[in-house]
Amino acid sequence: MTSDSRVFTVGHGKNGRLGNGSETDADTPVQVDIQGKVKQLACGERHTLALTESGEVWAWGYGGRSSILGCSWLGVHNPLGTGTSGSSLTPTKVNINNVSQISAGNDFSLAVSSGRVYGWGQGLLHLGHEPTSLPVGFENANVLAETKHTGVKKVASVEKFAMILLENGKLYAIGRNIGGATATRHNAKTITDNVLRILTKINDHPLHG
């Protein structure tokens, strides 16, 4: 992203990852046409999010499939947040507004809007949440009591886990705890154990920033 908020991409173009309307690889930067002035970008494994100053979110890239092996419950839910399966070669508006911050994991997306965390994509399974192709409020019993009094300030995600920073400075981690990624003492023996189904507070003292 340039100083005047223009967005350029380069590299592998399959599934519209470059967002320029083509699946052709690019070895030099190509501009992405996004409506509005972009203030933040977030990149997943095969998709990208762009947040504009007006609080809109645009997404492009790999959008999953409607089903796998004919089983709808094995379907890959769209990390683009469009409500349908299929990739997008150009930026498509996500059905969410008033967003202050975005983040992307391997195959899921997160956004902060009005002090709440919203998520979408197949990868929400790693966060202990049912997958969805449209943004849904991400709630958890462990933080509900706190978020009634203090909202969510920031989210950060990578691969298959995420961290949530509350306005009061408390930090929570959720997701697959492989290699101590969530900075907790949960040492897993199986894949099931590796998934922290509840948010785990990892700091005893408030963090700010």
pTM: 0.79
Q: What pLDDT shows up at residue 185?
A: 44
Q: Percent of the chain at pLDDT above 90?
A: 38
Read off the pLDDT of residues 140-160 as tens digits, 9 standing for 90 and up.
Answer: 545 545 556 678 888 888 888
Q: Structure tokens of 69?
A: 């092996």
Read off the pLDDT of residues 89-104 as tens digits, 9 standing for 90 and up.
Answer: 999 999 999 999 999 9
- CB-CB neighbours of 95 under 10 Å: 14
**HEC profile of 4-29:** CCCEEEEECCHHHCCCCCCCCCEEEE
Q: What pLDDT shows up at residue 8?
A: 96
Please give the Cα distance from 155 to 159 (Å, whole number). Answer: 14
Q: Give the pLDDT band of residue 9 (cuts 50, 70, 90).
A: very high
Please answer whether residues 103 and 120 qualify as being in contact, where contact means their C-beta atoms are separated by less than 8 angstroms: no
